[in-house]
Chain A
Amino acid sequence: MIRTFLERQALGHNRLVSLYRRFGRPYGTQWAAYLQRHGGLYHLGKDCSILPSTRIVDPPLTSIGDRVQLGNCTLLCHDGAIAAISHRHKLKLDRVGALVIEDDVFIGEGAIVMASGGKVVIGEGSVIGAGAVVRQSIPAGSIVTGNPAKVVGKVEDMLRFWEADTLAWPWGGLIASREGAYDPAIEPELMRLRQIHFFGKAADRNA
């Protein structure tokens, strides 16, 4: 009940937002819905999932497409050092950029995407791995890891390998028969099979 109240206040009136983040514990899709109304982004598309812990430092210079999923990452569109440098060297400098995240992009935990020296475009369908530090545009459909970030593969090339891995799991049949990407009805059995596979036996809930 309190969660619903906080969600209504945040989404409807942009009030009690910090309480909503802390106690409402919004899902990524709920937080994206909040940001769509009150986040101040240049653009935020439909059906996105953005964790409340995601740091979008320059919303007016950030454009996000449809079905984008952001983990606990940081999106930057300015060079934070420039004020100190300008002051020390008595110059009037500006180092900013714009960040365009196209449709169906995934950005993982701890990744930092910096558009501090111009416009950076993360091409549609790309996967930015956890911890990657991205400072330049990424072609569509790329898999990117590391610091500095490098394209290590194409999503399209990996699909049959991921499909093979899924088929090879002892629970591959359950995944194949699942409706959609998540079904709470089969989650307990999925987890039991995963625990048996990785630990040798299922967790003893009575321990």
Chain B
Amino acid sequence: MDRQAALEEIQDVVRDVLGDDDIVLTEAMAAEEVDGWDSMAHVNIIIAIEKRFGIQLKATDLAQLRVEGAKLSALVDLVTTAG
């Protein structure tokens, strides 16, 4: 899967979990820039993404997403290389 397709899949999941169809994601955004993407939502979003992509991320992978200022490109990296 190419990066743009992966980002669109992630965007679809985030819209579904956060209940907001107007959310538009780019790889340059950080999760904290997305309204409603707090620490609890983060868990639900990641679990939903794992189900969508049929993968399970390790703690060391997840840590890359929790570093302050981490961009969504890191999440795209993970889902396009995992599995």
Q: Give chain A's interface residues, CB within 8 Å of chain B.
A: 152-153, 157-161, 163-165, 167-168, 172, 197
**Contact residues in B for A157 (Cβ distance below 8 Å):** 43, 47
Q: Is A168 within 8 A of B47, CB to CB?
A: no
Known A-B contacts: A164-B61, A165-B39. Give 19 more (CB < 8 A): A157-B43, A157-B47, A158-B43, A159-B59, A160-B58, A160-B59, A161-B43, A161-B46, A161-B62, A163-B62, A164-B59, A164-B62, A164-B63, A167-B59, A167-B66, A168-B67, A168-B68, A172-B63, A197-B68
Interface centre among A153, A158, A165, A168 (most CB of B within 10 A): A168
**Contact residues in A for B57 (Cβ distance below 8 Å):** 160
Q: Is A164 within 8 A of B43, CB to CB?
A: no
CB nearest to A170 among chain B residues:
B68
Q: Chain A binding site: helix, strand, loop or mixed by DSSP? A: helix
CA distance A157 to B62 in the complex (A): 13
Q: Is B43 within 8 A of A165, CB to CB?
A: no
CA distance A177 to B81 in the complex (A): 30
Q: Chain B binding site: helix, strand, loop or mixed by DSSP? A: helix
Would you call B30 an interface residue if the criterion is a C-beta within 8 Å of the partner chain's C-beta atoms? no
**Contact residues in B for A153 (Cβ distance below 8 Å):** 43
Q: What are the 5 closest A-B residue pairs judged by CB atoms, nearest first?
A: A164-B62, A168-B66, A167-B63, A163-B59, A164-B63
CA distance A47 to B30 in the complex (A): 43
Q: Is B43 within 8 A of A167, CB to CB?
A: no
The minimal Cβ–Cβ distance linking A6 to chain B, given in whole angstroms, is 42
**Contact residues in B for A163 (Cβ distance below 8 Å):** 59, 62-63
CA distance A197 to B40 in the complex (A): 21
Task: Tell me the residues in window 31-83 of chain B with beta carbons closer than 8 Å to chain A beta carbons.
Answer: 39-40, 42-43, 46-47, 57-68
Q: Is B47 within 8 A of A160, CB to CB?
A: no
Interface centre among B42, B65, B66 (most CB of A within 10 A): B66
